[in-house]
Amino acid sequence: MLQFVASNQTNPYLNIAVENHLVSLPDTGAITLYLWRNRRTVVIGQNQNPFSECNLEALEADGGYLMRRKTGGGAVYHDDGNLNFSFVVPKAHYDLQRQFSVIQRAVQSFGLNTELSGRNDILCEGRKFSGNAFSKGRTHDLHHGTILIRGNMSDLQRYLKPKPAKLLKHGVNSVQSRVVNLANLNPDITPDTIAPRLLDAFQEVYGGQAVHMDYDTLCQHPDAQKLYLEFSSDSWRYGNWRTFTAQRSAQFDWGGIELALNIENDIITHVQLASDALDLAALDEARTILTGASAAVAPQSENPILKDIFTLIYN
């Protein structure tokens, strides 16, 4: 069974609340494609420091939104020229390549060639138009991402603060040079024209007709309203990052990281960790292992992410 829902709102907190509500629903075997757009929003990963990733003063002065999602990965910018998609899939049917193929097939229907790159990007003519992130729920897994179509590149450059080490790794000197608006490659592509192509591709790839779900009914559900309050709260968006100062930082193949530690009597008592890594479980494990660990003797692990983190701290 296939389900399709399209948002009629541009409030990021409401849109992501509906997404998380869909993830929390009981498993009926249905695979859901959800399309949504946000107005002037910087979206950061679950473990990121907003003050390192975003020019918050400019964003808020311009009436924009800061939104923290519950998946890993890096910061992205959304506006009316950006269409977002979510695959909410029962665990037994989750297939990353199949999900990616829906996006690729829709874009390719406009005569453009696409390719997958790195950890979570889709490229066209060597430049990124889609960043993706992932998480696991109790009954469903989530794959969501962006499709950059007619985004305001000046605003993107104004609001995002890329790490110099990350730019150096990619051999470029700006965010803007790494991304592309699909409308620049084919002016027929708009958020409105690609949406039905995405639905067609979804039905073709999975071989069925999608049942249309009502967005207003979903967002009025008590669970969705509760999630809306959570996502829009300062405690979720900012956490305790207002007082965070990175003591050490580095860029690895799996992502960038910033670390700050409180140490008392040679014991690590508190860990502040900011990262765009997709592996949320590894980051949670690093916090658990480090809290209460000796500040003099490095813990041991075979996990490559943990090994890099421990080396950064103890060397």
pLDDT digits (tens, 9 = 90+) for 62-101: 999 999 999 888 888 999 999 999 999 999 999 999 999 9
How far apart are the C-alpha atoms of 45 and 91, rounded to whole Å? 22
- Token pair belonging to 196: 């039905």
Residue 264 has pLDDT above 80, yes or no: yes
φ, ψ dihedrals at 149, nearest 5°: -120, -60
266-311 pLDDT per residue, tens: 899 888 888 988 888 999 999 999 999 998 888 999 999 999 999 9
Are 237 and 13 in contact by the 8 Å Cβ rule? The answer is no
What's the whole-model pTM score? Answer: 0.82
Looking at residues 241-248, what average pLDDT do you find?
73
Which carries the bigger pLDDT value, residue 315 or residue 312?
A: 312
Work out the percent of the chain whose per-residue pLDDT is above 90: 72
How far apart are the C-alpha atoms of 33 and 26, rounded to whole Å? 16
Nearest to 250 by CA among 274, 279, 230, 271: 274
Mean pLDDT check: name the lowest of 29-38, 97-106, 126-135.
126-135
Residue 40 has pLDDT above 70, yes or no: yes
Quote helix, strand, coil % in the chain, to nearest 5.
40, 30, 35
φ, ψ dihedrals at 93, nearest 5°: -110, 0
Looking at residues 230-257, what average pLDDT do you find?
86
Residue 2's pLDDT is 98
Residue 164's pLDDT is 52
How far apart are the C-alpha atoms of 18 and 15, rounded to whole Å? 5
Residue 171 has pLDDT above 50, yes or no: no
Residue 179's pLDDT is 87
Residue 168's pLDDT is 41
Residue 174's pLDDT is 43
How far apart are the C-alpha atoms of 114 and 122, rounded to whole Å? 7
Mean of the per-residue pLDDT values for the chain? Answer: 90
How far apart are the C-alpha atoms of 77 and 288, rounded to whole Å? 31
Residue 173's pLDDT is 41
Residue 118's pLDDT is 77
Beta carbons within 8 Å of 286's beta carbon, 6+ residues apart: 271, 273, 305, 306, 309
Partners of 222 in the beta sheet?
none
HSE value, Cβ hemisphere, 13 Å, CA-based, for 77: 28
Mean pLDDT check: name the lowest of 6-15, 84-93, 106-115, 286-295.
286-295
Alpha carbon 126 to chain centroid, angstroms: 21
